Structure 1
Amino acid sequence: MFMKNFNLILVIGATASGKTRLGVELARQLEGEIISADSRQVYKGLDIGSGKDLAEYGEVPHHLIDIVEPGHEYNAFQFQQDFFEAFTDIQSRNKQPILVGGTGLYVDAVVSGYEFVQLDKDFALRSELDLQPLEQVQKLLLELDAVQYEKTDLTVRPRLYRAIEIAKNKQAAPKPAKALPEIRPLYFGIQWDRKVLRKRIKTRLKERFEQGMVEEVQGLLDSGVSHEQLEYYGLEYRFVSQYIAEQISYEEMFDRLNTAIGQYAKRQETWFRRIEKHGGKIHWLQGSGDIYQQACEVLAGLG
């Protein structure tokens, strides 16, 4: 099924809002295939901490999950290339592409058609930034590019450094060798009361520890992934790595991680507001109700 005015359905929402489930239900209804827009689900072995929930996909085809080995620094430019390859393939088979995410920068990379600068790491700049307090590095990024600031994990120095490198070189961005396919997005956003979302985040976090998240991180370390690399893979892997290294207690790890995920959810909400501020139409679905039925009503109204 292809809608005349849209060629990509996007399912967005804060972490723990239920995006994957809605994406799967829509894919079954619309003969669609899911493209994941999650910066960690691309990695093999990052399963529990990234919330892959592969069993939830069932028979629904999915793309850009488990495509690179841990240790490789996958980025938004690579995602953009991989997305359009999957998008074109799905369309060629008369199926409906459904993007589920996740990572704001990745979604923007395909919807806005970013012209990425292919930059090597600026080791001189990074050496200077290493000497500055984290708060000062965050302030520098905010001064350089407020939009990039909102989409960057502000607690991970390598991500901050990369965002600063990109911001400093934006004006020198070359035109792409070929035009990217036009994306006409239909946004579905899942919305929860903030207190309810916080409860969902905490419940899901407990479940992930029960499923073996500490053991997963220990396995990654045993396979040769360093503590420094785990910092790059986001909140769960960072705090569990610190716990394994005996830098923090189990209770401190859980509490700090739960708080940090809540703060991340707030940053995601800021990104949603920016989409709307720049003219994007998000069809908000209330998480307390039947989100699939609400989405079907929107689709029916669009014809």
Structure 2
Amino acid sequence: MTNKEKLMVIIGPTAVGKTRLSIELAKRYNGEIISGDSMQIYKGMDIGTAKITQQEMDGIPHHLIDIRDPEQDFSVAEFQQLVREKITEITSRHKLPIIVGGTGLYIQSAIYDYQFSAAPQDPDFRCNLEQRAEKEGNEVLHDELAKIDQQSANEIHPNNVRRVIRALEIYHCTGQTREETQANQSPELLYEIALIGLTMDREQLYSRINQRVDIMIEDGLISEVERLFNSGLRDSQSIQAIGYKEIYEYLNDRVTLPEAIEKLKQNSRRYAKRQLTWFRNKMGVEWFDIGDGQQFEKKITEISAYIEGKLKIKSNT
């Protein structure tokens, strides 16, 4: 008999249909949704992050959306802490917590017993890097990080010197990247979990991504990004998000608008491919192909049977 809290997790690439499914399952199982997206935490960044609207929520409570201003940084360790607090809080109300999102590292960190403080430290090395950053500039350290740990360099903005230095320090002490250090831990799942992955035919998914970008443009993405740009927001983690960095290139007169939009579609497709690779390699996911929209009700029934078997719960419908 387990004393672990019950948890449902719905993951998958961008534009696959996680939002629609999550609302239906939340209704069936008396659930509340925790966003597992590293960019939907930011206020005022709605269109480009495909943030769920109040209408789409359909009365289902959502958590960890709009909790930071765009100029603030946010780390995976902070996410880990906040998600675990929310899981306990939701469970205490006799509701089922449901994590929904596509940011693999963030979700993995929350549901497994990863220790971010476990990597060794070297205060002298760190102090030396801090001094170098002051003398030589932030970009120098970020370039060094990119040579040894490209993934961390992609995730961390050059001006987030503290996190750049920490990533360099981890490599200095262990000879491994942040991700490799985490992978070498043998963490256990902290929850009694139903881990659901959504997928569909690659060409169909890419078509949906392209269509979603067109809708974002129609819905005012350019104006949303212009507002951030005109507010003076420049060197922040938030604007490294797909959907924002491409439009910033246009606003900085580096590309034309059609070029920026095409780049946005391309980057979104590539991100979806990386998401699928991550989830398949890193997490024990039960996959469901939901490519045929006409079969949605059938898939809901199939997924519900899996959930009820894994979590030993019953639908309220």
Whether these two folds match at TM > 0.5 is yes
Residue type matched to 1:104 in 2? G
Number of the residue aligned with 2:99 = 99
Residue type matched to 1:251 in 2? P
Identity of aligned residues (%): 32
> Deviations 1:100-146 (Å, cap 9, x if unpaired)?
01211110111122212399995457658834896x7544116xxxx
Residue type matched to 2:12 in 1? G
Out of 259, 262, 284, the residue aligned to residue 266 of structure 2 is: 259
- Cα distance in structure 1, aligned partners of 2:214 and 2:19: 19
**Pairing 1:47-58 to 2, within 5 Å after superposition:** 47-54=46-53, 55-58=55-58
- Cα distance in structure 2, aligned partners of 1:10 and 1:153: 28
1:167, CA displacement in angstroms?
A: 6.5
Residue type matched to 2:241 in 1? G
Q: Is contact 1:36–1:64 with CA below 8 Å preserved after alignment?
A: yes
Out of 96, 117, 139, the residue aligned to residue 130 of structure 1 is: 139
Out of 286, 289, 294, the residue aligned to residue 290 of structure 2 is: 286
- Cα distance in structure 1, aligned partners of 2:29 and 2:254: 48
- Cα distance in structure 1, aligned partners of 2:145 and 2:265: 24
- Cα distance in structure 1, aligned partners of 2:107 and 2:232: 31
Q: Is contact 2:130–2:165 with CA below 8 Å preserved after alignment?
A: no
Residue type matched to 2:280 in 1? R
1:11, CA displacement in angstroms?
A: 0.3
- Cα distance in structure 1, aligned partners of 2:22 and 2:269: 23
**Pairing 1:180-219 to 2, within 5 Å after superposition:** 182-219=190-227
1:164, CA displacement in angstroms?
A: 7.2
Q: 1:301 to 1:79 in 2, by over 3 A?
A: closer
Q: 1:105 to 1:241 in 2, by over 3 A?
A: same
Structure 1 residue runs without a partner (length 5+): 143-148, 174-179
Q: 1:183 to 1:59 in 2, by over 3 A?
A: same
Residue type matched to 1:33 in 2? E
Residue type matched to 1:286 in 2? I
1:86, CA displacement in angstroms?
A: 1.1
User: Which segment drifts farther, 91-100 or 290-299?
Assistant: 290-299
> Deviations 1:229-265 (Å, cap 9, x if unpaired)?
2764412110111111211101110111111111111
1:183, CA displacement in angstroms?
A: 2.1
Residue type matched to 1:229 in 2? S
**Pairing 1:1-303 to 2, within 5 Å after superposition:** 7-54=6-53, 55-117=55-117, 123=130, 130-131=139-140, 137-141=145-149, 149=151, 154=154, 157-158=157-158, 162=163, 165-166=166-167, 168-169=169-170, 182-226=190-234, 228-229=235-236, 232-276=239-283, 280-288=284-292, 289-290=295-296, 291-302=299-310, 303=312
- Cα distance in structure 1, aligned partners of 2:269 and 2:306: 29
Q: Is contact 1:9–1:185 with CA below 8 Å preserved after alignment?
A: yes
Q: Is contact 2:204–2:291 with CA below 8 Å preserved after alignment?
A: no
Q: Is contact 2:112–2:190 with CA below 8 Å preserved after alignment?
A: no
Q: Is contact 1:40–1:233 with CA below 8 Å preserved after alignment?
A: no
Q: 1:258 to 1:265 in 2, by over 3 A?
A: same
Q: Is contact 1:27–1:34 with CA below 8 Å preserved after alignment?
A: yes
Which of the two has higher C-alpha Rg? 2
**Aligned residues between the structures:** 282
Q: 1:65 to 1:33 in 2, by over 3 A?
A: same
1:299, CA displacement in angstroms?
A: 2.8
User: Which segment drifts farther, 18-27 or 201-210?
Assistant: 18-27
Q: 1:259 to 1:123 in 2, by over 3 A?
A: farther
TM-score, normalization: structure 1?
Answer: 0.81
Number of the residue aligned with 1:145 = none
Q: Is contact 2:43–2:67 with CA below 8 Å preserved after alignment?
A: yes
Structure 2 residue runs without a partner (length 5+): 179-187, 313-317
- Cα distance in structure 2, aligned partners of 1:33 and 1:188: 16
TM-score, normalization: structure 2?
Answer: 0.78
What secondary structure does 1:67 align onto? coil
Residue type matched to 2:107 in 1? V
- Cα distance in structure 2, aligned partners of 1:188 and 1:47: 25
